Amino acid sequence: SPLVRVQDAVGVIGSLARNPIGRRRTFDFVAKNWETFYARYESGGFALNRLVRGISDSFRTEEERKMVEGFFLEHPVPAARRAVAQALETIRSNGEIFESNREDLSRFLAGLLSDKDRRLPEVGGGVVVDHAVDRGLPVTCPG
């Protein structure tokens, strides 16, 4: 909507993309409507850079990195070339950090599950385990 300020819309889009449930949906929405977004933000200073980073910085898998890279190869953004490169590097780094902490996180979650008298804390509308399972972490319930 033209009633929404440029910086506010980009901020909302970035917030949606940081949510594990909204991450892919937000990217897909922006990709589907790319011509509209690009026309609106190409002359908006840093808004286009923030949009590029906002829709991709929370990804972490190689598949997601290839998806983002493929999208921006198909839809070049000269004004945000550096933001695209940084986003791809961030995705790679996110994957490395996740993989290096996978075992510790799995043990932590298994410990939560082994305490039968304790409820799991709520996180973003679901329990911690839901997010772990969504991410492919090996979470098992003892006994």
The residue ranges of every structural domain in the chain are 6-100
Long-range CB contact pairs, 123-129, < 8 A, 24+ = 124/19, 124/20, 124/21, 125/21
The residue ranges of the chain whose pLDDT is under 70 are 1, 44-45, 115-143
Cα-flanking dihedrals φ and ψ of residue 103, to 5°?
-65, -45
Residue with tokens 């590029």: 52
Cα-flanking dihedrals φ and ψ of residue 116, to 5°?
-65, -20
CA distances from 47 to 50, 53, 76, 134 (A): 5, 10, 16, 31
Element (H, E) at 123: strand 122-123
What pLDDT score does 37 carry? 92
Reading the block at residue 3, the tokens are: 């009633």
What pLDDT score does 54 carry? 95
What pLDDT score does 43 carry? 76
21: burial class by Cβ within 10 Å (0-12, 13-18, 19+)?
A: middle
What pLDDT score does 2 carry? 72
What 8-state DSSP symbol labels residue 138? -
d(CA 39, CA 66): 24
What pLDDT score does 41 carry? 87
d(CA 97, CA 93): 6
